[in-house]
Amino acid sequence: MAPILWLPDAERPFIVQVDASDVGVGAVLSQRSEVDKRLHPCTYFSRCLSPAEQKYDVGDHELLVVKLALKEWRHWLERAKHPFLVWTDHKNYIEQAKQLNPRQARWGLFFAQFDFTLSYRPGTKNIKPDALSRQ
């Protein structure tokens, strides 16, 4: 049974869960219920990587899916009343990113339009976007 989608509420914090594989990317925009404290999906996003994107390294795949998700849900995330979280399962990238390549620098300018925190979440807890990225 597919989960019921929640209507996004700009007054409540959002959580963007992302994942990338060698062939695709997937993301879920969710919000936590005040009643049961569980995450409930508002919308999903996935697509296959182009041949050029498939050549990106793992870190660029993870940043690409963040960029695509923020672009897809920009109309909700830009007007959100609270900073939002972006969960990725790529811990090494978060800890070791010291110098950006030109592509990452361009994406960084786009990311600057949003108020969010990039946070690690183990792949075992990032099931929905993982499934979407593997299409």
What pLDDT digit, counting tens, does each position of 3-40 carry? 688 899 888 999 999 988 889 999 999 999 888 888 99
Record the pTM. 0.84
Does 7 reside within a domain? no
Any domain includes 80:
yes
63: in domain: yes
What domain range includes position 36? 15-134
Q: Does residue 76 sit within a domain?
A: yes
Q: Give the 3-state DSSP-derived string for 18-79, with helices as H, strands as E and coil as C.
A: EEECCCEEEEEEEEECCCCCCEEEEEEEEEECCHHHHCCCHHHHHHHHHHHHHHHCHHHHCC
Q: Do the domain assignments include residue 4?
A: no
Find the CATH number of the domain harbouring 112: 3.30.420.10
pLDDT for 106-125, tens place per residue?
A: 998 999 999 999 887 765 65
User: What is the arrangement of strands in the sheet containing 24-32, beginning at the earlier edge strand?
Assistant: 39-48, 24-32, 15-20, 84-88, 116-120
Q: For the chain, what is the domain count?
A: 1
Higher pLDDT, 129 or 83: 83
- Residue 9 belongs to some domain of the structure: no
